[in-house]
Structure 1
Amino acid sequence: MKETKEQREMMLPGNKVEIRKAEGEPTKIVGYAVRWDQLSHPIFGLFQEQFKRGAFAASLVNPDVYAAWQHDSREVLGRTPNTLQLFEDDIGLRYEITPPSWAEKHLETIERGDVRGSSFIFRAIKEEWDESNPDMAIRTVIEADIFEVSPVTTPAYPQSSVGIRSAQDVFNERRALPNMDNRGDSHAEERLDLIMIEHDMRLRKLSI
């Protein structure tokens, strides 16, 4: 299961996708796919997630990553190393896309603020879990591969997609590990069951 990719979206403060125009330079789409040590919103009520600085360092040595509009592989905006650049800086994993001429219509929607989120597809290589808060575990991704970055209109954590693990998959795998719930708390299993019930209710609302 670890070989399967995961998809995440970023709509946190200060994470807005921007258009950069400089005299004599091509127009670029600029944003951060990841911000270091910044906790995500609860992912379907199951867990929060953060990435440690340098998580993608190994993946960026010889990257083959592409950028697509709204994760649509028919609308590729750029690809490493020529029209997509990825950098790890003090803030996070930054991307700069030099889009093709046909993408002018998309640039306008970003400039107007209609599209302001970033989404990325990754595979966790090394991770840690903090379960000191029994109501909300925290997953820290220490090392990961990056495969795709995308400007998106309305980020939403996908529950199922070909070749992509859902948030529930990640949580269930962690839950299946020995001693996850054996912390001397007789109510831990009950709380986990309530989380899963709430998760199912949210899925039903999303499908309406």
Structure 2
Amino acid sequence: MPDNTISGYAARFGDETIIANSFREKLAPGTFARTLKERDVVALLDHDSGRVIGRASAGTLTLREDRIGLWFSLDVDTTTPEGQTALGTVRRQDIKGCSFGFNVRVERWEDGGDRLPLRIIEDVDLWEVTLTAFPAYPTTSASLRNADNAARRLRSKAQAAHRLRGIS
């Protein structure tokens, strides 16, 4: 039975990106801590609110902040066209990144000197995480977890090692 779970990082702390060729931006650790306690976040395909593929309050989207960033796990419904699209495009790695929809609550700016100014986001109201082919932060990730294949590979490797030692 295939695993229908997509997981990865919708955002990563400390990684810089350039927004609209106007400024640099990065996320501070703790950016999502408050909002994850207060809001019901949805998962979408390419920021399209008509293509909902998960929701925290429904138990189909799990979000947590760790030392790396905003990690997610999405239990995809294969009976919907959106779910089939999400699984297919992530499985093939046509989509392998994420983005997120938010309002900034706390930010600070640093002068860039001879570089673009830097916005450091410290707190947001998070509305959604999204699977997208064009993430603003290229270090985000989305991949299909396939526990069955991983277990099969591990078993196969162990069996090969046993055969080499003459163990059946």
Fold agreement, TM-score > 0.5: yes
Q: Sequence identity of aligned pairs in percent?
A: 35
Tell me the equivalent position of 1:130: 110
Tell me the equivalent position of 1:164: none
What TM-score does the superposition give when structure 2 sets the normalisation length?
Answer: 0.72
Match of 1:36 among 1, 4, 13: 13
SS at match of 2:29: coil
The CA deviation string for residues 101-144 of structure 1, in whole angstroms up to 9 with x for no partner, is: 22123312111111112111111111111104143100001111
C-alpha distance 106-143 of structure 1, shift in aligned 2 (>3 A):
closer
Structure 1 stretches of 4+ with a deviation exceeding 6 A read none
Structure 1 stretches lacking a partner, 5+ long? 1-22, 158-208
Larger radius of gyration: 2
Tell me the equivalent position of 1:57: 33
C-alpha distance 105-76 of structure 1, shift in aligned 2 (>3 A):
same
Whether 2:117 is the aligned partner of 1:115: answer no
Whether 2:53 is the aligned partner of 1:73: answer no
SS at match of 2:30: coil
In structure 2, C-alpha distance between the alignment counterparts of 1:155 and 1:35, rounded to whole Å: 12
Equivalent residue letter for 1:75: R
Equivalent residue letter for 2:29: R
Tell me the equivalent position of 1:88: 65
Question: How many aligned positions are there?
Answer: 133
Equivalent residue letter for 1:86: L
Tell me the equivalent position of 2:140: none
In the TM superposition, what is the alpha-carbon distance from 1:155 to its structure 2 partner? 3.7
Where relative contact order (Cα < 8 A, 6+ residues apart) is larger, the structure is 2
SS at match of 1:113: coil
Instruction: Write 1 or 2 for the structure with the bigger share of strand.
Output: 2
What TM-score does the superposition give when structure 1 sets the normalisation length?
Answer: 0.59
In the TM superposition, what is the alpha-carbon distance from 1:26 to its structure 2 partner? 5.4
In structure 2, C-alpha distance between the alignment counterparts of 1:36 and 1:50, rounded to whole Å: 7
Work out whether residues 47 and 101 of structure 2, in 8 Å CA contact, stay in contact via their aligned partners in 1.
no
Match of 2:128 among 148, 165, 169: 148
Give the alignment of 1:157-172 within 5 angstroms: none
In the TM superposition, what is the alpha-carbon distance from 1:86 to its structure 2 partner? 0.7
In the TM superposition, what is the alpha-carbon distance from 1:156 to its structure 2 partner? 6.2
The CA deviation string for residues 55-106 of structure 1, in whole angstroms up to 9 with x for no partner, is: 1111011321101112222221000131111100111011111111221233
Match of 2:119 among 125, 128, 139: 139
Structure 2 stretches lacking a partner, 5+ long? 138-168
C-alpha distance 62-156 of structure 1, shift in aligned 2 (>3 A):
closer
Equivalent residue letter for 2:44: A
In the TM superposition, what is the alpha-carbon distance from 1:49 to its structure 2 partner? 0.4
